[in-house]
Amino acid sequence: MTLRTPRIPTDEMTPGVSAGGPLETAIAEFAAAAVRARGVDPVVTEIVRLRCAQYHDCRLCGSLRVQEAIDAGFDESMQRAIASYESSDLSPTIKAALRLCDAMIMRPGDIGPELRSELGEHFSETQIVEICVDVMKWSQQKALVALRIEAPASEAHLTELIFGPDGHPAFGDPLPAETA
């Protein structure tokens, strides 16, 4: 298995923000801590990650899949349902997580008693916090995506997204065609 570690492009960034700088280090440590949280079903976590990728138009995130989620039942029909999840056959649990994701990114004022109650039917308070942290983690690359300086995505295939025990990411091998 070939592993590649993503880096912020140093020639595009200012000192202190560049690869290995204090801001990148702090963001990477936050992201790794978010990934190490394991209280939410991996399928829900993957769907929230992919919803963030849709909102932010992150081509890289859209081309990656977490094997743990695939092993837990995630498939590409679920990925295709994310954009129109309200009218999909995704589970009520997944829909609740996606409503929270949408509200956090686009309409924070929608996080009211009704959504809180719905979330409470499907998740513990700790799990709700974990989903919120996941949304923040998968939104941290938004500036890079907007400037189109994020790491390039594979146009030809989906690639495995791997996290080490420390929570830091690496890219694995292309996933088999039947996964796509």
Could you tell me the residue ranges of all domains in the chain? 14-166
- Residue ranges, the chain, pLDDT below 70: 1-20, 148-156, 177-180
Residues 68-83 pLDDT 10s: 999 999 999 999 999 9
Write the Ramachandran bin of 73: left for phi over 0, alpha for psi from -120 to 50, otherwise beta.
left
The pLDDT tens digits for 25-37 are 888 888 889 989 9
Domain topology for 14-166: AhpD-like (1.20.1290)
Asked if residue 105 lies in contact with residue 98, where contact means CB atoms within 8 angstroms, the answer is: no
Q: Are 65 and 46 in contact (CB under 8 A)?
A: yes
